[in-house]
Structure 1
């Protein structure tokens, strides 16, 4: 592939460094446009443009009339970045959230902050699943409208678009990374971890390096990716139980007791189990990316979790600091212990209820061997 001039809007966040290094290794000339508040050491030096990618005026001031062969829009306000790059880039590769109807609590009517919404999301949801309705919260309506706007720019010939819908991202530098909620508890010698509904809820996640790899494949396969929207996630969807136990294994912790609590009552788990505030499976179908882009995970799930755990051990957030405030986890172990005590009391009282023992009955009659013939 001939070297191209590539603009990466962002580049120092969660997926950005993997995208930038992937471009470097492909031999492209990379420019990153970011705020400058966070710097990352890449595999080779790249050009930096510092500015604000959230407003038309600041984007224009930073980029001017510069043109690029390819633009990766990973940060800022997607609508305004797309508008500025219309006619100034050949290929536009963007990322956004998952806004399928039933995916988010904001797409359902709730009475209070602690109400649990049980999802009606199709399993797994593919790219043709309906998006959030007009009755959804304004954030969702704006997000859906922005994605539609960018797709319309493609239809008008402003650039060749490939858009990626990303679920919860994990890995180094993840914003409000929920893995830390489990890692810190285990480091703090907490061995009883509260899981809603037994932790049997399945959720599709995306390791940052895997998400970046899929987006880079759109650059490698521009014809197949043109005008397409893709779900971007790991190939493997795991339950919450698998997720917690894999984190524990990466820490070398073997004596974990996963305590099942009804979802409505499992308030200590909300910071790591309720995002995005909907109970029920949240599963994405990535077969389209596998078919058109030949996608396969770059990093398997167990290795991705191990790398994430290692990064947090080397960069532990400050207790009560900005990262934990973003996570919204108070790590209120006193309240957790009180809930666990009540659950133990409830289990004992239920066990004492007089009842007839259950005995499994096979639904089919077992065949009997014929009686041996009696000789005459």
Structure 2
């Protein structure tokens, strides 16, 4: 059974209903309600496993966890985030890494203690004997509600330069949603092995930011012009101008491989073709869009959008014709 959130301010209902249709067609049941009162939504139904994929902090997850414990649920699985890791001098991020101070007196866990997911992981570890947490990074796949690949497609189909901060050689990680699904399935099938474990839900290959732009262009059957730039020199905030972190940010699925015997099926060049097919069928490529931040960046580095280049070229052609007539 799946509990769908009814509040439009909390969830994209079109995506929720699409996911619900896929689940029900596979034999599952969807009920709609408030996760803060999950007991009322599911009635007297009993469950062996609860998968929490809604909350990002303890306030949101605690009602579900408390209900699950009181209902005698045997296994509690939580979808966390690889974004909770602290920056490291030794990427990739690996589950359970301990950072030691120079004096070896202070020992810090390699996650941001202020991150809401951390509080959830600590709480379920204290409340459940059989629990596991999964830390995905960037996901791709049908129905994904993130706007990452589309950011590239928006520019590529309009023949605009793609501005990427830094050198473009920063490494990141993108995995297909089916990898998360297969990892969760293995955890359910092997509850004793998964108990008390944290799993990075990522593919086992990284990709550079420039490389991702090239793969998106190949998926669209197009070419791409990449413009690398210094955000400070361009006067822009890279977090607002680009959908990925402007740094090396990637994790390793070591625990899933060693503990669950999991293998990744992500094939990014092929998976991006699936994403572009959905993008093209949505009609988004024909919609009017503005690229104000892009234009600011391109102006700062001396590269003009294709429309401005065409206008400049036509002015040049007109100038040449005029000169020829004067001869």
Q: Give the Å deviation of 1:38.
A: 6.6
What residue in structure 2 maps to residue 290 of structure 1?
A: 257
Partner SS state of residue 82, structure 2 = coil
8 Å contact 1:9–1:73 — kept in the other structure?
Answer: no
1:171 partnered with 2:145: no
CA distance in 2, matches of 1:335, 1:299: 32
What residue in structure 2 maps to residue 69 of structure 1?
A: 48
**Where is the helix percentage greater, Structure 1 or Structure 2?**
2
What residue in structure 1 maps to residue 318 of structure 2?
A: none
Q: 1:282 to 1:173 in 2, by over 3 A?
A: same
CA distance in 2, matches of 1:268, 1:309: 27
Q: 1:78 to 1:338 in 2, by over 3 A?
A: closer
Partner SS state of residue 218, structure 1 = helix
Partner SS state of residue 26, structure 2 = coil
1:162 partnered with 2:123: no
Q: 1:201 to 1:83 in 2, by over 3 A?
A: same
Q: Give the Å deviation of 1:250.
A: 0.5
8 Å contact 1:236–1:301 — kept in the other structure?
Answer: no
Q: Give the Å deviation of 1:180.
A: 0.8
What residue in structure 2 maps to residue 304 of structure 1?
A: 271
Q: Give the Å deviation of 1:246.
A: 0.6
What residue in structure 2 maps to residue 279 of structure 1?
A: 246
CA distance in 1, matches of 2:135, 2:280: 29
Q: Give the Å deviation of 1:51.
A: 0.9
TM-score under structure 1 length normalisation:
0.65
What residue in structure 1 maps to residue 123 of structure 2?
A: 149
CA distance in 2, matches of 1:299, 1:151: 30
CA distance in 1, matches of 2:175, 2:65: 24
Indicate which of 342, 346, 349 corresponds to 2:300: 342
1:93 partnered with 2:45: no
8 Å contact 1:178–1:271 — kept in the other structure?
Answer: no
Partner SS state of residue 40, structure 1 = helix
CA distance in 2, matches of 1:272, 1:176: 15
Partner SS state of residue 75, structure 2 = strand
TM-score under structure 2 length normalisation:
0.74
8 Å contact 1:198–1:259 — kept in the other structure?
Answer: no
The Cα offsets for residues 326-363 of structure 1, whole Å up to 9 and x where unpaired, read as xxxxx543553453243238xxxxxxxxxxxxxxxxxx
What residue in structure 1 maps to residue 317 of structure 2?
A: none
What residue in structure 2 maps to residue 211 of structure 1?
A: 180
8 Å contact 1:9–1:72 — kept in the other structure?
Answer: no
Q: Give the Å deviation of 1:232.
A: 0.5
Q: 1:35 to 1:62 in 2, by over 3 A?
A: farther
Of stretches 224-233 and 121-130 in structure 1, the one that deviates more from structure 2 is 121-130
CA distance in 1, matches of 2:173, 2:16: 30
Partner SS state of residue 142, structure 2 = coil
What residue in structure 1 maps to residue 226 of structure 2?
A: 258
1:83 partnered with 2:66: yes
8 Å contact 1:217–1:295 — kept in the other structure?
Answer: yes
Q: 1:35 to 1:74 in 2, by over 3 A?
A: same
Partner SS state of residue 94, structure 1 = strand
CA distance in 2, matches of 1:232, 1:189: 34
8 Å contact 1:217–1:293 — kept in the other structure?
Answer: yes
Gaps of 5+ in 2: 6-14, 98-108, 304-327
What residue in structure 2 maps to residue 195 of structure 1?
A: 164
Partner SS state of residue 67, structure 1 = coil
CA distance in 2, matches of 1:316, 1:121: 43
What residue in structure 2 maps to residue 181 of structure 1?
A: 151
CA distance in 1, matches of 2:200, 2:292: 40
The Cα offsets for residues 209-255 of structure 1, whole Å up to 9 and x where unpaired, read as 1111111111222222122111101111111111111110000013x
1:239 partnered with 2:208: yes
Partner SS state of residue 76, structure 2 = strand
Gaps of 5+ in 1: 1-6, 12-33, 103-118, 322-330, 346-376
Q: 1:272 to 1:91 in 2, by over 3 A?
A: farther
